[in-house]
Amino acid sequence: MLQENLQNLLTRAQASQQLALSFLFSSMEIVRPLRKLVHALQLERGSNSLLLVDPQNILYASRVDAYRKQFADDQMRFLQAVEVWQAQMEQHALPSSVYIKLAHFLETLNHLVNLREQIDTREIKTDQAIDDFSSIIASALAFVFELAEQALDADIARGMLALFNFMQAKELAGQERALGVVVLGSRARTQSAQLTAALKTRIDQQWQAFQLVRSFATDAQIAQLEQLKQQPYRAHLEQWRDRVSASTHNSAHNSLALAEGWFDLMTQRIDGFQALEDDLISYLQIICAKKMAADEAFGSASTTSNHLSGLDSQLKQQVDERVMRVRGVSRLLLEQLHEQAVQLGAVEAELMLAKQTLLDRRFIERAKALLMIKKHITEEQAHQFMRNQAMKSGLKMVDLAKQLLQQLV
Amino acid sequence: MLQENLQNLLTRAQASQQLALSFLFSSMEIVRPLRKLVHALQLERGSNSLLLVDPQNILYASRVDAYRKQFADDQMRFLQAVEVWQAQMEQHALPSSVYIKLAHFLETLNHLVNLREQIDTREIKTDQAIDDFSSIIASALAFVFELAEQALDADIARGMLALFNFMQAKELAGQERALGVVVLGSRARTQSAQLTAALKTRIDQQWQAFQLVRSFATDAQIAQLEQLKQQPYRAHLEQWRDRVSASTHNSAHNSLALAEGWFDLMTQRIDGFQALEDDLISYLQIICAKKMAADEAFGSASTTSNHLSGLDSQLKQQVDERVMRVRGVSRLLLEQLHEQAVQLGAVEAELMLAKQTLLDRRFIERAKALLMIKKHITEEQAHQFMRNQAMKSGLKMVDLAKQLLQQLV
């Protein structure tokens, strides 16, 4: 009975590994239209800002309209993809959190009707409109983050972390675009300190997100990231940022022309991010496909040695012996079983470090959300508060976040 | 299409929550016979030590034999439970790691035949025999740990952490029993420094494990733990430990009678742990059953208000409104959806803190295993090394472990 049970468990483990890989592969089929949808929302948010600082401008109104049409097409494609995905997921028992995060994003899309009405009637403040769009996009990114947490091996975890942080960086750039438009286009004499802080935070966090992309991306992806820096618009970025920053202190020279210039520059920049974003998604699908194929080929191959060329000879021999004992079990699985035995686990250590990065982020986000509610402050203020507290106490941000949450529970 | 997709996602989320709960419920049906199996192995290990320090003793040999028979019965029951569990898991797509950890434990059980032969022919050293038994038990506990990582809410995560750490504490007491027998029964003039360190580490880690049980157990369970301290044998425990400790320096008064006395006292102690261990398992099943029942009743109820008495009135109203919109969705789910929206998340924070505890443990274990392999040292030496390094550098154990692993990957 022991051998039978063992054999069954290994067969199941293999099937479940294939399922998990195909789940991630299929999920990228909704992340692709999702990222397009988010891109359209980011453009709509930016052009809303132009419209709201110059409410009578017909050109701006028609531009907003064009982005909404783009969004409608993208939403249709996205929802079709979700339908296909749901059918494919019939056989997978995914954690409910995956469904819930996606459901939550769909629910926030419902708010768009109302939000657009308020914009059309100019009933909403510019910064409120930006915040509302940002929170819809945040719930899309929360779904991608949830997918990252489902990663079952180090390569996939790293790929997901690179993708998520890149999407995050792009979104922060999108927020910077919308906020900058308000700063440069507004004719109010004094800009609010809150807006200044908001812009500063977006730039800071963009830099941090790109750093995280770097630490998880492949060399080829990092090279692609470097190429983005060679784009013509990049030469003017810092200059424009200085202009925006100066304008938060003195709005005497503000004009719609300036706001438009900023919008166009940032749009060039953000549009340029799209190719790498798509590549990061494709890369994940390629890893999944390779692992699935390797697994299947290995399971059915009569000789296994050529699949094991990457392993050192002692491990190879041990694995071969196991293959003879337990036929039909995948290479991935054998490596994992082997790893259990020797407990070296460089790969598992890497996965654990990736999971720690994800968990750290969750702690910081949770603590920030908690502060916002308890102290009735904005996200920037919560961020600033935590930064200051961390500096004062010499704690890392994540340890401070844990302390804050521990006081709560 | 949006509303349809949303409705489907919520239905799926609910089904997957029920599946996850029933998975944990069913898994406890194998943890129960597993813990009995481990108990039998612990007794066999302890009596092996008596036999190996006095190889000709017929009484000891027959005692070992009795424990092996007990083990054979327990193994049969355990394997039957695994078979039933595997059939139940047909519809669940569990992470492959769950199957792999269980498969790995079954594989280590194969080593028992060989190991017992070496004991019967007295070909194995006493400390080697103890280590080999301990590593079989460690792989059983690794499976329970893996189950803990699957916990999907804070109550279950806390319950699993209390159970796992209690099993861990009991196992450390079992190792202390076996090692103490060697110390007290051995006629060698000098005891090895390694044995002294091993005993000290077991006592230290027991204390730490019990502390963790306390921090995750319910008040009733903590009270049960306190009652264990009132047992008659407890009055003599420290005295006996001092005797063992003294004997590691001076073995002049060692005798088999002393070793037997120690074995009996520790056996009384460890046997006493069983009732609470079973209760911790039952408690988890009760939580799962309650959550499943609440979920189902809620899903089919026509009026929902009485189920929501625990929630504050504003939340209650919001939840009620949602129920009207999305009929048939469970309370648990609605709370989670709601939590997504307000992002307060005390419950999620608690789950995250529990997950952090699990991840911390993994880091420390991984780093220890790595040191053992790289430096060719024992577990105690690795433990001691890390403790000293942590003290010197002022780092927490877990942060030191992360550093060590980061240097590797």
Measured between alpha carbons, how far is B167 from B174 in angstroms, rounded to an integer?
A: 10
* More confidently predicted of B252 and B377: B377
Check pLDDT > 50 for residue A153: yes
Summarize the confidence of residues A298-310 as an average pLDDT.
39
CB contact under 8 A, B99 and A9: yes
The closest of B294, B293, B17, B38 to B163, measured between CA atoms, is: B38
Cα A194 → chain centroid: 26
Set of chain B residues whose Cβ sits within 8 Å of the Cβ of A343: 366, 369-370, 372-373
d(CA B90, CA B93): 8
> How high is the pLDDT of residue A334?
56
For range B275-282, the mean pLDDT: 96
Alpha-carbon distance B186 to nearest alpha carbon in chain A (angstroms): 32
At A339 the pLDDT is 54
A61 min Cα distance to partner chain B (Å) = 26
Among B139, B340, B409, the residue with its CB nearest the CB of A349 is B409
Nearest CA in chain A to B78: A2
The chain-wide mean pLDDT, for chain A, equals 85
Instruction: State the pLDDT confidence band at A363, using cuts at 50, 70 and 90.
Output: very high
H-assigned helices in A96-233: 96-120, 126-149, 154-185, 193-216, 219-228
Which residues of chain A make contact with B109, given a CB cutoff of 8 A? Answer: 2
Q: What pLDDT sits at residue B409?
A: 61
pLDDT value at B261 more than 80:
yes
Q: Give me the pLDDT at residue A315, please.
A: 39
Position A351 pLDDT exceeds 60 = yes
CATH of domain B344-409: 1.10.10.10
Least confident range of A303-317, B85-99, B276-290:
A303-317
What is the per-residue pLDDT across B159-215, written as a single tens digit (0 to 9) for each?
A: 999 999 999 999 999 999 999 999 999 877 566 777 888 899 999 999 999 999 999
For residue A84, list chain B residues with Cβ-Cβ distance below 8 A: none
Picking from A104, A366, A370, the nearest residue to B340 by CB comes out as A104
Q: What is the pLDDT of residue B314?
A: 43
By percentage, how much of chain A surpasses pLDDT 90?
A: 56
What chain B residue is nearest to A350 in terms of C-alpha separation?
A: B409
Interface contact A76-B1, CB threshold 8 A: yes
| Residue A160: per-residue pLDDT | 95
Smallest CA–CA separation between A408 and chain B, in Å? 7
Instruction: Enumerate the residues of chain A whose CB falls inside 8 A of the CB of residue B72.
Output: none
- Collapsing DSSP to helix, strand or coil, B94 comes out as coil
pLDDT band at A152 (very low <50, low <70, confident <90, very high): confident
Q: Å from B240 to nearest chain A CA?
A: 35
pLDDT confidence tier of residue A66, bands split at 50, 70 and 90: very high
pLDDT over threshold 60, residue A399: yes
Instruction: Give A82's pLDDT tier (boundaries 50, 70, 90).
Output: very high
Indicate the residue type of B367. Answer: A
Does the pLDDT at position B59 exceed 60? Answer: yes
Q: Identify the CA nearest to A146 among candidates B336, B209, B211, B21.
A: B336
How far A115 CA sits from the closest chain B CA (Å)? 17
Say how far apart CA A201 and CA A379 lie, in whole Å: 10
Kindly list the residues from chain A whose CB atom is less than 8 angstroms away from the CB atom of residue B352: 359, 362-363, 366, 405
Interface test with B, best of A16, A351, A395, A408 (most B CBs within 10 A): A16
Nearest CB to B345: which of A101, A110, A366?
A: A366
Residue B296 tokens, joined: 């189902």
Domains of chain A, residue spans? 14-291, 348-409
Average pLDDT, chain B: 85
What residues of chain B lie within 8 A of the CB of A215, using their CB? none
Average pLDDT of B290-303?
63
Residue A152 and residue B95: Cβ atoms within 8 Å? yes
Q: Are A182 and A126 in contact (CB under 8 A)?
A: yes
Tokens of B69: 């028979």
Report residue A86's pLDDT band, with 50, 70 and 90 as the boundaries: very high
> What's the pLDDT at A303?
34
- Residue B37: name the closest of B89, B109, B87, B98 by CA: B109
Q: In chain A, what residues touch B89 (CB-CB under 8 Å)?
A: 12
The Cα A160–Cα A162 span in angstroms is 5
- Asked if residue B354 has pLDDT above 80, the reply is yes
Judging contacts by C-beta atoms under 8 Å, the chain A residues touching residue B85 are none
B78-83 mean pLDDT: 96
pLDDT at B319 over 60: no
Our CA-based measurement puts residue A166 at a distance from the nearest CA of chain B, in whole angstroms, of 23
pLDDT at A263: 96
Chains A–B, number of C-beta pairs less than 8 Å apart:
206
Chain B residues closer than 8 Å to A9 by CB: 86, 99-100, 102-103, 106
CB contact under 8 A, B405 and A353: yes
Report CB contact under 8 Å: A83, B110. no
Question: What pLDDT score does A329 carry?
Answer: 52
The region of weakest confidence among A20-24, B134-138, B188-192 is B188-192
> Which residues of chain B have a CB within 8 Å of the CB of A101?
340
Confidence of residue A352 (pLDDT cuts 50, 70, 90): confident
pLDDT at position B405 over 90: no
CATH architecture of A348-409: Orthogonal Bundle (1.10)
In the chain, the amino acid numbered A217 is A
Q: What is the pLDDT of residue A380?
A: 84
- Return d(Cα A128, Cα A130) in angstroms, integer: 5
d(CA B79, CA A5) in angstroms, rounded, equals 7
Residue B136's closest CA among A337, A345, A341? A341
- What pLDDT score does B321 carry? 47
Please report the pLDDT score of residue A245 as a whole number.
Answer: 87
Mutate to test the interface with A, among B100, B355, B372, B404 (most CBs of A within 10 A): B100
Q: Cβ–Cβ of B336/A96 closer than 8 Å?
A: yes
Give the Cα separation of B61 and B290 in Å (integer): 47
Longest dimension (CA), chain B: 84
At residue B123, does pLDDT exceed 60?
yes
